[in-house]
Amino acid sequence: MGTKGKGGRPRVKSKRDQQITARLTEREYRKLQKAASGSSVAALVRDRLLGLSKESVPQVPLVNRQAWIELSRTASNLNQMCYHLNTGGRPEDHRILPLLSLLQRDLEQVRARLIGGIHGNR
């Protein structure tokens, strides 16, 4: 049998093995969760206490996060269509035209949510 390489996670030089416990009210904890904005509360508290974070993490509005997800799906569909065409695939009007119509509708909906109104302020 040959020698097998060591797998797994690489060792860290300075392991965080010390712990501090603090009791918070539900309201205080929710406030920290909101300030952490998706990252861990522990990382937020550690960075602030050690002076690593000068300002609070900028809040990304929920509507922007939702729009990002929707745009990701739309972009994925568009990328698949472009890949097909760029690899020599023949345009299939019966498949591409409805997809383009769907993409246009999705983009209009995302735009409307971001700036308000059905069609935005054109």
- What are the pLDDT digits (tens) for 41-73? 998 899 888 888 656 556 667 777 777 887 888
Instruction: For the chain, give the number of residues.
Output: 122
- Within 13 Å of residue 84, how many CA atoms lie on the same side as its CB? 12
**pLDDT > 70 in the chain, percent:** 83
**Do residues 50 and 78 both lie within one domain?**
no
Q: What is the pLDDT of residue 6?
A: 67
Q: What is the pLDDT of residue 121?
A: 45
Counted domains in the chain:
2
For helices 62-86 and 93-115, give the axis angle rounded to 10 degrees.
160
In a domain, 4, yes or no: no
DSSP string, the chain: -PPPPP-SPPPPSS-----------HHHHHHHHHHHTTS-HHHHHHHHHTT--SSPPPPPPHHHHHHHHHHHHHHHHHHHHHHHHHTTPPP-HHHHHHHHHHHHHHHHHHHHHHHSSSS---
Q: Which of the four pLDDT bands, split at 50, 70 and 90, describes residue 14?
A: confident
Residue 88, domain extent: 62-115
Task: Give mean pLDDT, residues 80-84.
Answer: 83
Dist CA 61 CA 88 (whole Å): 41
In a domain, 120, yes or no: no
pLDDT at 26 over 90: yes
